[in-house]
Amino acid sequence: MSRTVFILGDTVEAWATGLYVRRVLDKLVDNVVIAPSAEHRTSEPSALVAPPQTKRFFSSLGLTEEILFREAGASFLLGAEIRAQETFTLAYGQYGVPANSVPFHHFWMRMMDVDAAAPFDHYSFGAELARSGRFVHPSPDPKRIESSFDYGYTLEGTAFGACLRAQALSAGVMQASAQDIEEVSPWLVLDCTGRESRGNWVSWPDLPESFSVDEEVSEEPSGNLSVYTVQRLADGVSICLHPRKPTVTRRLGISAGGECRTGRSEAPWRGNAVSLGGSACQLPGLHSPQFLLLHAQLDLLASLLPAENVAVDVVAAEYNRRATRMMDNVADFDALALTSLKKAGLWRYSAPSLARKAEQFVSRGRPVTYDDELYSEQDWIAAFIGAGFLPERVSPLALAAPLEAVERNYEGLRRAIVQAASRLPDQQQYLDHLLSIQQGAPNAV
Amino acid sequence: MQVRRIVIAGGGTAGWMTAAGLSKLLGPLGLDICLVESEQIGTVGVGEATLPHMRFFNRTLGLDERELMAFTNATFKLGIEFRDWARIGDSYVHPFGDYGPADQEIPFHHVWHRLHAEGRAGRIDDFSLPVRMSERGKFDFPSTDPDNLLSTFSYAYQLDASLYAKYLRRFSEANGVRRIEGRIMSVERNGDSGDIRALALESGERLEGELFIDCTGFRAMLIGKEMGAEFDDWSNWLPCDRAIAVACEMAGESVAYTRATARPAGWQWRIPLQHRTGNGHVYSSDCMSDDEAADILLGSLEAKALGDPKFLRFKAGMRPKQWVGNCVSIGLSSGFLEPLESTSIYLIQAGITALAELMPSGGVDTRDIEEFNRVMQLEYDRIRDFLILHYHVTERDDSDFWNYVRTMSIPDSLREKIELFRSRGVVQEYKDGLFLHPSWVAVYLGQRVMPQGRDPRADAMDEARLNEMLDLPAQIERKLDPCAAHEDAVKSYCKPRMAAPS
Ligand SMILES: Cc1cc2nc3c(=O)[nH]c(=O)nc-3n(C[C@H](O)[C@H](O)[C@H](O)COP(=O)(O)OP(=O)(O)OC[C@H]3O[C@@H](n4cnc5c(N)ncnc54)[C@H](O)[C@@H]3O)c2cc1C
C-alpha cells in the first residue's frame, strides 16, 4: 500500500508540516499532499515569533538563517519586553550565574532584602542586549559572557508562508483539492487547519474562555527590533512584533465571546488523524508558542510513527498522553504571562500544576517542572519574577556565602554585562552587514 | 520556631551521610547538628553496591576519591549482571551507560532491532562499551569528550558501607557535628503542636532540638512509632521480605560489576570488594524457609565464609509522608526497596538534597513538607516500577514464587510502559527520578521483551550509516584493548593512600 500523508489546511503550519514530513520522514512516506480545507483559518498573522528552540526545527526543515533573512524578512529576536507597572525584559537565556549549583535568583533575593539589587533583568546579558537593541551571535566559548544568551527570529508572516510553500513544493509536497482527498485513502491525515478540531475540547481554568485577534496593524518599521512588546489594554493585550519590516501591532481580545475557544483537544490523535498546531490547541499565546508546539508535536509524532504489525492505538495513546501534557504545560506558561500584565503577586491559580509551581516559587524560589515541559526552569524563574512573584524565603544553600561577597560578585557581573553589551553593534547595523555579505556571497551566514 | 538545633537519630549510613551533607552544605549558617547512635543496637550492616550518583555526593563534600576508595576497600562498579532472570541460563548486564554510538538520530535499540532481525547483528550488549568493559574485566575512567566512545558510560563503587559511614563520621565531626553515644528511650512531644521537643536517652540526657531527623533504620522510632506516618505496603508487588548476608574470601579477580542471580524464591547478590566478596540471598518467606535460603546461599559461596550469616527482615514499601511536623525520615526509616538495583543509598542522597534545599529558615513551613514528600514519593514510585519489571517480565515457571510474580497484577504506570515497549519498542521517558532510557532497554531486552515493531525510521536508515553502526562492536573492542584490568586499575589508583583500619 502506498503511504500517503494528507495535510489539511492552507496554513503556515500546514506547509511547515509538509516540509517536515518530506525532509525528516522522507523515505517513509510516498506522497505528501496538502489540501486546503473549507474550514481552515482564514487570515494568517502578519508577523510570527520563532523562539530559540525552533532553530532546530528550522534546521530540520532545511531553512538556513540565510533563507530566513532572504525570504522571510527575519530579524533576530532576544526576548519579550513586558510592559506592566514596570517594564521587564523576559530574555532567552541565562539570568545571573549560579554559585555552587545554587541558582542566581536566590542570591538576587538576598540582595533585594538589603536594597542592594538592581532589577532582575539587569543581570542577564540577553536582556541587556535586548533592551539596548544590539545583537551579535552568541559566543561558543562557555566562559564568555557573550555565550549566556540565546536568540530566535521574528518573521514576516506572508513572506514566511510563501517561503515555506515554495520550499515544500520544491521538496515534493503536492497540492490537491478537498475532493481529491476523498478519493484516496491516506495513511495519515494531519489536520493543520488551525481550527478547533472535532471531538472533546478541554479548557484551562486559568486562561480566559475565549479570545480573538481583534486587529492587526502593519506600519513602517519602528522601535526595537530585538524584542516584541507585550502590553495590557483595557479589554485585552497588545503585542508589537518587529520583523525587518513592517512593524506589526496585534490586538488580542481576551474577554468572553471571542471567536477562538481556548483549550485543547482531549485526544489529538484519533484513528489515523492527528490534529496539529492550532487545531489541537488554541490559547492567547502571549509568547507565541505556535512553532514551539508544532515542532514538539511533529518530533513526537515522528518518534511514534505507526509501525507494521503494531496496532495504531498503542502509539496514539502514548502520543495523546504526552502531547496533551505538553500543551497543558504551555498553557500554564501562558496563564502566567497573562498574570504578568495584571497586579502581581496576589494571584491564585486553579490548575493544580500551575498552582503548585506558583506556590513553590513563592515559598522558596523552587522551580517545579514536570515531564514534557517545553520551557526550561530558567524560563519559568524569569517568568515568575517578571510577573511579580517573589520568593518569600531563599534556599538555605544561598545563605552560606557572605552577603558582601555576593554583592561584590554580582555587581561585577552586572558591570561586565553592560560593558560587554556596549561594545556590540546595533541589530540594524549587524543585519545590514550580514545582508551585504549575503548578497555578495550567498553562503556567508 | 526558628530551627537552630538539628538532632539526627541514628548513625548508620543514612545518619552519617545526613550529618556530612548538612554540615557541609549548611555549616556556614551556624546550625548546631548532633547525632545520637547506639553501639549496643548497631547498624543494619549491609549495603555495599552503589549508583554513580554517589560520586556527585562525595564531590559536593569535597572528598578525595582515592583516599575514600582505599579506606572503604572499594572497587569500581560499571553495572549489574543479572543471571537466570527471564530463563535459567540467561545473563545480561544493566550498564551505567548507553548502547550505540555517542551521536544517535533515533534511540539505538530500534536500529539494533532491525539489524538483529536481518541477521546482521548479534547481542545488543556488544554495542555498549560499559557492558563489554564489565565482561572483559577492565576499567578506565570516562572521557569528557562527547565524541569519544569512553564518554558513553559512568561508574559507581562497591564498598564497605560501614567504613563509608566511619569515614563520613570523621568528616562530619571535623565539620562540627557532635556525636553522642546513647540509646534513645523515649520521645518528648510538644502538647500543642505535636512536634518533637527532645529525645530522652538511657543515660538520662535530653537532646533538645527544633528539627529531628529519623535515621533509626527499620525501627523508624520517630517518624513511625512517634509521629505515626503510615507505611504504604508494596509487598504484593515486591514479595521478598527477608535476606541473609554473609561475606566470603576473595576467589579470583574482583570484577567491576555486581551480580544478581535469580533463585527459586528470590535472588542472590555478589559484590566484590578489594579484600572480600559480599554475598546475600533475598527471598520471600512465603515461598521459602530460612534454613533452605541459608543452604542455598552458603552452598553457593565461592570461597570460605567470613563470619556468621546475618538474617534480616523487611517489607517493601514507603511512607508517603516522610516529613511530618518537625520530623524528617531519611534512610530505611522512610521506606525500603530491595537492593536489586542498589537504590537505597541513592534515596538517602535524594532525601538529603531535598532537605538541604528545603531546610526551614524560621519555622517549619507546610509548603516545604509537601514538596519534600512529593519529591520523595516520585523517587520511590519510579524505582518501584523498575524493580517490579525485573520480576514480572520473566518466562520462569519453575517455582511458586516465579509463577506468582509473573502473573501478578502490576501498577498501571508500569503496565502501560511494558505494553508500549512490547508493541513498538518505545521507552516511556520521564524527567525526574532514577533510571533513564538505556536502563529500561537493558532490562526489557535482557529479559526477552522483544518489541513486535520498531521505529520505522530505523528501516529508512541508509546503508552507509548502518555500516558505521555495525562497526561499533569492533571499535569498542579496540577502545578496550589498552584499558587496564579492573583489579590493576583499583590497585594503582588506591595504592599510595591511607589503608583501611583493620
Ligand atoms: C539485605 C539488604 C541489602 C542492602 N543492600 C544495599 C546495597 O547494595 N546498596 C544500597 O545502596 N543499599 C543497600 N541496602 C540498604 C542500606 O543498607 C541502607 O539503606 C543503609 O544501610 C542505611 O541504613 P540506615 O542508616 O537507614 O539504618 P541502620 O543502618 O539500621 O542504622 C540505624 C541507626 O540507628 C541507630 N538506632 C536505632 N535505634 C536507636 C535507639 N533507640 N537509640 C539510639 N540509636 C538508635 C542504630 O544504632 C544505627 O546507628 C540494603 C539493605 C538490606 C536490608
Domain with B30 in it: what CATH number? 3.50.50.60
pLDDT (tens digit per residue) in B16-38: 999 999 999 998 888 999 999 99
Query: Which residue of B36, B40, B44, B285 sits with most ligand 1 atoms within 8 Å of its CB, as the best mutation to test the pocket?
Result: B44
- Give the nearest ligand 1 atom to B258 CA: 8
d(CA B173, CA B329): 21
Within 13 Å, how many C-alpha atoms sit on residue B279's CB side?
26
Residue B341's domain comprises 5-74+159-235+316-381
The DSSP H or E segment spanning B208 is: strand B206-208
d(CA B274, CA B499): 11
Best B22, B375, B423, B429 residue to mutate vs chain A (most A CBs within 10 Å) = B423
Helix axes B412-424, B366-392, angle to 10 degrees: 50
**Could you tell me which residues come within 8 angstroms of residue A307 by beta carbon, excluding any fewer than 6 positions away?**
A315, B424, B452, B453, B454, B455, B456
Cell reading at B326: 518537625
pLDDT (tens digit per residue) in B405-461: 999 999 999 999 999 999 999 999 898 889 999 999 999 999 999 999 999 999 999
Interface touch A315/B426, C-beta < 8 Å:
yes
For residue B3, the chain A residues in CB contact (below 8 A) are none
| Pocket lining: B184 vs ligand 1, CB cutoff 6 Å | yes
What pLDDT band is residue B47 in, cutting at 50, 70 and 90?
confident
CA dihedral B99, B339, B56, B254 (to 10 degrees): -70
In a domain, B85, yes or no: no
Query: How far, in Å, is the centroid of ligand 1 from the Cα of B279?
Result: 17
How confident is the model at residue A235, as a pLDDT? Answer: 83
CA B362 to chain A, closest CA, distance in angstroms equals 9
Cell reading at A62: 532545511
d(CA A262, CA A281): 8
If one counts the domains in chain B, the total is 1
Nearest CA-CA partner of A86 in A64, A59, A108, A118:
A118
In a domain, B138, yes or no: no
| Pocket lining: B48 vs ligand 1, CB cutoff 6 Å | yes
How confident is the model at residue A343, as a pLDDT? Answer: 65
Nearest CA-CA partner of B114 in B429, B474, B453:
B453
Using an 8 Å CB-CB cutoff, list residues of chain A that contact chain B.
25-28, 302-311, 314-315, 318, 359-360, 363-364, 366, 368-373, 393-397, 399-401
Query: How far, in Å, is the centroid of ligand 1 from the Cα of B347?
Result: 12
- pTM of the full structure: 0.95
Cell reading at B330: 531519611
Residues of chain A with pLDDT under 70: 39-42, 343-346, 441-445
Which CATH number describes the domain made up of A4-428? 3.50.50.60
Nearest CA-CA partner of B438 in B148, B157, B139, B124:
B124
How confident is the model at residue B129, as a pLDDT? Answer: 97
pLDDT (tens digit per residue) in A321-352: 999 999 999 999 999 999 888 765 567 899 99
- Whether B33 and B22 have beta carbons less than 8 Å apart is answered as yes
How confident is the model at residue B329, as a pLDDT? Answer: 98
Interface touch B367/A309, C-beta < 8 Å:
no
Helix, strand, coil proportions of chain B in percent (round to 5)?
A: 40, 20, 40
**Could you tell me which residues come within 8 angstroms of residue B471 by beta carbon, excluding any fewer than 6 positions away?**
none
In a domain, B219, yes or no: yes
Where in chain A are the domains? 4-428
CA A351 to chain B, closest CA, distance in angstroms equals 17
B77 is annotated as an active-site residue? yes
Best B3, B31, B367 residue to mutate vs chain A (most A CBs within 10 Å) = B367
Interface touch B455/A303, C-beta < 8 Å:
yes
Query: Which residue of B46, B223, B315, B379 sits with most ligand 1 atoms within 8 Å of its CB, as the best mutation to test the pocket?
Result: B46
A301: nearest CA partner in chain B? B455
How confident is the model at residue A442, as a pLDDT? Answer: 47
pLDDT (tens digit per residue) in B308-334: 999 999 999 999 999 999 999 999 999
Query: How far, in Å, is the centroid of ligand 1 from the Cα of B22?
Result: 19
Query: How far, in Å, is the centroid of ligand 1 from the Cα of B357?
Result: 24
Q: Residues of B305-336 as b/e, b for ≥16 C-beta within 10 angstroms? A: eeeebeeeebebbbbebbbbbbbbbbbbbbbb
